[in-house]
Amino acid sequence: MAILVDEKTKVLVQGITGGYGGKHAELSIDYGTQIVAGVTPGKGGRVFEHGEVVVPVFDTVEEAVKQTGATASAIFVPPAFASDAILEAVDAGVSLVVAITEGIPVRDMMKVKAAMAGSPTRLVGPNCPGIVTPGRGEDSHGGCRIGIAPGYIHKRGRVGIVSRSGTLTYEAVWQTTQLGFGQSTCVGIGGDPINGTSHLDALQLFNEDDETEAIVMIGEIGGTAEEEAAAWAKEHGRKPIAAFIAGATAPPGRRMGHAGAIVSGGKGTAQAKKEALKAAGIAVAETPAEIGTTLAQAAGWA
């Protein structure tokens, strides 16, 4: 199985005619992802070509969905227009929206969250590396890659990964691949203070997925999302979890890297998060290099 996406998922790319969106559309096609449409206002009727693959470009998401049956969208739209792009996909009935864009104004995301209340659409991101469900073929190609993650380090397997940090996502993927465990699905949820899918959301999905046997959860300072996920896992989790919290050396009141990575009012410290995770029975790696081995020990695979 896997969560959210698989090799059958039909994906459209908002911003496919831009340099960044176009490049990653090509990499996703190379990975085996079904990129069925592109959307760029004013450029409808054109095509995006990569090798033997020809992708039609539409002016609107609604038209793209009607013509191609796309159920997921990757958003590579400049920050000033990204919130409108998200809501356009929501209005068109897209099931999964993955917003890669970094630097979307917080006020814009507040409007997005309010508008999406009660919507069946799931948002991943923004400011995230995206989502990968590796394929089962040679080199794990033939799966679904939405976003900017390096597909070649993934391997289909039994570990679900959820992370706020892009680079630490890749580190966890590489370690679980090298150890032979592989991944069921890897979800980069992004580090902005207002985003869509949370650690808790991902844990719940992985908990119900038959293919996922263990989970890696990577968090960082700021907010209380990791503590909330830990509290849920303590009561309902059925699978071993290994975690890492980034930002232990960050000074209070100073943002480190991600917009959401800030310790304020004594809340959101790395130590508090680690203690909450450990209290929930979650194994905590002290350094990024220990994520894979910590998982192996927690799952009894060592």
Residues taking part in catalysis: 258
Token representation of residue 187: 């979800």
Q: How deeply is 102 buried, as exposed, middle or buried, from its count of CB atoms within 10 A (0-12, 13-18, 19+)?
A: middle
- As a whole number of angstroms, the distance between CA 155 and CA 178 comes to 9
Token representation of residue 83: 């919130």
Q: How many CB atoms lie within 10 A of CB 205?
A: 19
Q: Is residue 102 a contact partner of residue 47, using CB atoms and an 8 Å limit? A: no
- As a whole number of angstroms, the distance between CA 212 and CA 227 comes to 22
- Number of residues that make up the chain: 302
Furthest C-alpha separation in the chain: 56
- As a whole number of angstroms, the distance between CA 151 and CA 153 comes to 6
* 100, 157, 220, 248, 279 from 242: Cα distances, Å: 26, 16, 14, 17, 13
Q: Is residue 174 a contact partner of residue 150, using CB atoms and an 8 Å limit? A: no
* 2, 22, 78, 99, 250 from 103: Cα distances, Å: 30, 20, 9, 11, 21
Parallel/antiparallel/unpaired status of strands 53-58 and 72-75: unpaired
